[in-house]
Homo-oligomer: A and B are copies of this chain.
Amino acid sequence: MKFRLFTPGPTPIPPEVVAAMSRPIIHHRQQEFKEIFRRVSENLKYVFQTQQDVLTLTSSGTGAMEAAVSNLLSAGDSALYVNAGRFGERWGKILERFGITAIEVKNEWGKTLHPEQIEGQLIRNPHAKAIFLTHSETSTGTAIDLKRIAQTIRHHSDALVVVDGISSVGALELRMDEWGLDCVLTGSQKGLMLPPGLSFIALSDRSWEAAGKSHLPKFYFDLEKARKDLASGQTPWTPAISLVLGLDVALEMVKREGIENAWARHARLAAALRKGCEAVGFGVFSEYPSNSVTALRMPGGVDAEEFRKVLRTNYGIIIAGGQDFLKGKIVRVAHLGYFDELDIVTVVDAMGKALRECERTGGLSN
């Protein structure tokens, strides 16, 4: 059976990226690697819409989240974080591990953050050093209006605006410099069309200043060292070389399409998927759906996990389920990275058919 992956990371890898990763390995202290690494670092600036250095780490996106905390803050600092799903919650866990007083702004799963929800907290916590946000909450398929939220924060506070852009960078409009974002990070296996194993992070001038004062212990994720080494086309530690070779090709593809066009394509595909899935019987779960991953409520009586089994077994299509209390209640379909219109036709058609089968039979096991 032909398998098709519609999960929010890993996402499909373009064949030309696979080919680049399959060439004989090169040494990371060679001139050839330095040239490639300088080029990808320049192209990452375009993707992040920033003039700042974008640093490449060999880790999952969670490693870059830890790097944001351990490089910008010091033990005893306080910080705000918005928790409206699994990944917002992760900010809180990392902050607590590093001895930061973590003030939670809790939001219902599937709801977006409204500026007035943070205004009070910002005013009540004038000493908060940073506020940790999730641009696209992968666990609920919900985005935030990042531009407006960042404006609100800058209006009320000097807190650094730190953005988990793991399932947004390359897919949702995001302009780091123009929107005044102080730290943006992402992973390789999302909008950048690579396997997992690399993460990327950029800091504003205000963040670099904070990094200079931070005294949390860090070594592997020392961003000042990474920035220093980038100036000579290098990384502090041996990078995931084959992924960097693939990244070079993936970023050329993004440039060729144009980042605005990529954002527009994601918006178009997401809208088409929502309409199509509603037409065959699903409900959109989120108040403010992300353009990279769509969370869908199951029609009455059909278990989401049973549905996923039918879709995989009979149609070869892999989508994600719900997490925590949403398990069995929602499914999540990604259209993040290497996707086009016909992929949406494919997944909607199969989902409609699989749903009818579930309604008829109660799933595979019946």
Contact = CB atoms under 8 A, between A and B. Distances in A.
Interface-central residue, A13, A66, A187, A196, by most chain B CB under 10 Å: A196
Interface-central residue, A93, A239, A240, by most chain B CB under 10 Å: A240
Interface bin, chain A: 35 or more
A320 B27 CA distance: 9
A202 to B, nearest CB: 19
Contact of A22 (B3, B22, B97, B219): B22
A238 interface: yes
A141 interface: no
Contact of A195 (B3, B217, B241): B241
A99 interface: yes
Contacts of A125: none
Interface string A18-55: 10011011111110000000000000000000000000
Contacts of A27: 5, 7, 10, 318, 320
23 contacts: A5-B24, A5-B25, A5-B26, A7-B27, A10-B241, A13-B24, A21-B242, A58-B59, A58-B60, A58-B196, A60-B239, A62-B219, A62-B220, A62-B236, A63-B220, A63-B237, A66-B219, A94-B219, A97-B218, A97-B219, A189-B241, A196-B240, A197-B242
Interface of A: 3, 5, 7, 9-13, 18, 21-22, 24-30, 58-63, 66, 70, 93-94, 97-99, 187, 189, 195-197, 216-222, 236-243, 318, 320
